[in-house]
Every structure is written in structure tokens, then in C-alpha cells.
Amino acid sequence: MKSGLTRIKSIEDLDISGKRVFIRLDLNVPIKNQIITDDTRIRGALPTIQYAISKKAKIVLASHLGRPQKPEDREKYSLTPVGDRLSELLNREIVLFEDPNGEGIKGVLGGIASNQMLLLENTRFAPGEEKNSMDMAANLASFTEVYVNDGFGAIHRAHCTVAALPSLVTNKGIGFLIKREIQMLDQVLYNTKHPFVAILGGAKVSDKIDVIGNLMDRVDVFVIGGAMAFTFLAAQDIPVGKSLVEKDKIHTAKELLSRFRHRNKKVILPVDHVVAGQLKEDVSCQITPTAAISSEFMGLDIGPRTIDLIGTELQKASLIFWNGPMGAFETKPFHKGSFAVAQMLSESKAFTIVGGGDSVTAVEQSGLASKMGHISTGGGASLEYLEGKAMPGLEVLREKS
Ligand code: AMP
């Protein structure tokens, strides 16, 4: 069977016993006033770290955090709270190494105790990280005997600790989290069970065009909701009032609709909407009788008949992929469509994959996260993978055939 992991070693295939192992993670967690508000990504990294501990490896952990722009950002984007949380969860001492270039780290590693490991400070503090610098990579490679990437959320970035560094290391592979992410997404790309329903929503058509294109032959039913549906409705000359429309993408939407038709793909677009005069908490809203929206209103969620229509397709599905909310779910009462989709996914017999970003937030807020088949930890990365794009962080680990 074809797989995105062909000729890529996993940490279990590598000899890491007692070796200096560099583990690139995605510990980019939300932090407010030095407090981590959601540690999901940290917990997701634990199996790979624990495996390396069990092999008595000398561990150097690395991750980016946020988008620091200037030197004053150092405190706000420091990995200190992340190190503290890791230390609690692993019951190990985490030594924060201030210089993400790793200058002088070899000596420190030489004397590291068995209950300690190093955590490099935010890799984006180093100017070479986002430039994919070979100089920075050479520094880090000078102490790295084995390189392991387990930071799925950053795997699509050509950054130094993702791409340049592993290009200089011979013994390299992926950790358990990336392995599972790719195996799950491969069910969409290569091992597709039918009927396969793809539910796409969110703000912009432009973000999803490549995914729709790459999944066109695999998907049986496309459900299009969220604000992006209005560009598709406008492409059919259906009035959408003040709703968000990407005017420059109407032509693309027309082309996609015609490709769906030619390939006999079923497309579910909203047949009714929850509309209001503005997007505001608890604003008075109404449900439209048809897909048309009058000029004083904007569509902010899918309506009940649309939810039923989606439900009918989901009941028949064997595989469901969902990316992007069905409405402006952060603002009540426009969360209902997204929560209803989450509920239907949780009750479905199909294998369900929620692909990152705001749809993950909607699933978590609905309290149904544990009922999903797989929830991706990397929104941008999972979309790019499904677009069929080569991921720098994965390709650099693939052995030549
Ligand atoms: P994306 O990042 O493309 O997945 O878009 C997610 C954003 O789309 C969320 O912040 C939603 O509030 C927003 N969104 C979804 N549907 C609508 C809508 N009908 N009107 C305005 N915003 C929407």
C-alpha cells in the first residue's frame, strides 16, 4: 500500500541507545501571563520523549513558540513555562539551554545526569531558524548523533531545525506523533474507504482550493459550509446579502462546481442559513427559508435543513474528513451548525478525521473530542499534506530509493 512514510524510519528503527538525540517537537502551546492554557501539544510529545528516556539517550529537545519578532519578545515567547510543564509530566529535570544555536552544548551534554535533559530555548529566537540556515544547522549537527522529528505542526516549514539540520545528519527519523498523523491522513489519500464525505468550511475558499483539487477523485460527497459557501452560492447567482464573499474567487468556485458536475461528485451547499444584521454575541437572528439571503442580512451559520441534509450523507459514510467550521462558531448562537456536525461525527459509524485549526476548537468546545477517530495536531500541516504537497520536514528524512 502506498504511504507517505515510505522509506522513512521511525524512532524504533533507529539505534538511539545512549546516543545524543535531537528531538524536534511542536510545543507551540497557548500561554497567557506565563500560564499554559492548553497543554495538549506537550502531552502529545510525551511518548517519543519517554521512549528516548527508556533507551538512556542524551536528549536535546527543541521547538518554536509563537512568532517572536524583536528582542523584547524574548520573555513573552520563552519556553520556560513549557520546560516546567514537561518537567512535571516526565518527572525529570529539564535544563533550559538559552542559546537555540546550541553553541557549547556538547560539553553540557557530556556531563548530563540520567534524570536530566536539555530543552533549547525557542528556536525562532535564532535568526537562522526561519532562514533555514546551514550555519545554524552545522552547529546543531555537531552534537547530534541521531535526529528525530516529532513536531507535526511544523513539518511543512523549511526551517533550520526541521529541514537544514536533518539534511546534515545520517541517522534520522520520525517520532510516534508524526507517524500516527501521517498514517491517519493516509487513510484519506491512499487507503480511502467509500463513501468518503469531505466537510469543508471556514472563512476562505482560497485556503481550501488545493485540498479540494487533490481530493477531487477520492471524495464522493463534498459538503461546503462556513463563509466559503457564500462564494459558491454567489457563483450560482444566488443572492447572499452582506455575507462574506471572496469576489476574486467566484470564478474559481464556478470552475470547481463544473468539475464536481463532470466527475459526478455530490456537493452539499447550504439550503438555509442562520442570518443576522451583524456578527455579535446574542444578536437577534432568523432562519432563511431558502439559500437566498436578503441584502440587510449576513449568513453566520448553516440552518436546520442543511444540518439534516448533511446528516443524511454522514449516515451513509465510511470515511469523513472535516476541516473548517460551519459558521462563526466563536460567537453564540452561531455555534450550532458546527456543534451539530461534531455531534453527527461522534455518532457516525465512519472513521472520522478532524483536520486541524478551528474545527478542532469546535469539536473540543462541544465536548466530543474523545469520540473522534483522529484529531490532527497541525492544521496547516495536515491541509498541506492533503494538498499533495511535499513536506520539507518529511522529505529530508526519506531515504533515496
Ligand atoms: P478557517 O481558518 O478558514 O478555518 O476559518 C475559520 C473562521 O471562519 C472562524 O473564525 C469562523 O468564525 C469563520 N467563519 C465561518 N463561517 C463564517 C461565516 N458564515 N461568517 C463569518 N465568519 C465565518
Nearest CA-CA partner of 321 in 252, 387, 272: 387
Q: Probe ligand 1: pick from 300, 323, 341, 354, max atoms within 8 Å of CB?
A: 300
* CB crowding 332-349: b at 16 or more within 10 Å, else e: ebbbbbbbbbbbbbbebe
Q: Probe ligand 1: pick from 224, 244, 321, 359, max atoms within 8 Å of CB?
A: 244
Compute the distance from residue 359 Cα to the ligand 1 centre, in Å. Answer: 10
Compute the distance from residue 329 Cα to the ligand 1 centre, in Å. Answer: 7
Q: What is the pLDDT of residues 20-60, one digit of tens each?
A: 999 999 999 999 888 998 898 999 999 999 999 999 999 99
Q: Angle at CA 68, nearest 5°, toward 67 and 69?
A: 110
Q: Are 224 and 253 in contact (CB under 8 A)?
A: no
Minimum CA distance residue for ligand 1 atom 14: 328
Is any atom of ligand 1 closer than 6 Å to the C-beta of 300? yes
Question: Which cell goes with 347?
Answer: 455518532
**pTM of the predicted model as reported, rounded to 2 decimal places:** 0.91
Q: Which of 4, 311, 373, 380 is catalytic?
A: 380
- As a whole number, mean pLDDT of residues 276-291 equals 96
Is the predicted pLDDT of residue 153 greater than 80, yes or no? yes
How high is the pLDDT of residue 3?
Answer: 86
In the chain, what's the furthest Cα-to-Cα distance? 72
Q: Which of 204, 218, 305, 371 is catalytic?
A: 204
> What does the alpha-carbon distance between residue 20 and residue 3 come to, in Å, rounded to a whole number?
29
Q: Which amino acid is at 251?
A: H
Compute the distance from residue 214 Cα to the ligand 1 centre, in Å. Answer: 22
Instruction: Note if 104 is an active site residue.
Output: no
Instruction: Note if 266 is an active site residue.
Output: no
Three-state secondary-structure class, residue 224: strand
Q: Which one-letter DSSP state was computed for residue 220?
A: S
Q: Are 79 and 119 in contact (CB under 8 A)?
A: yes
Residue 365: phi and psi, rounded to 5, are: -65, -30
How high is the pLDDT of residue 33?
Answer: 86
How high is the pLDDT of residue 1?
Answer: 66
Q: Which of 83, 128, 324, 357 is catalytic?
A: 357
What domains lie within the chain, and their CATH numbers?
Answer: 11-178 (3.40.50.1260), 192-386 (3.40.50.1260)
- As a whole number, mean pLDDT of residues 134-149 equals 97
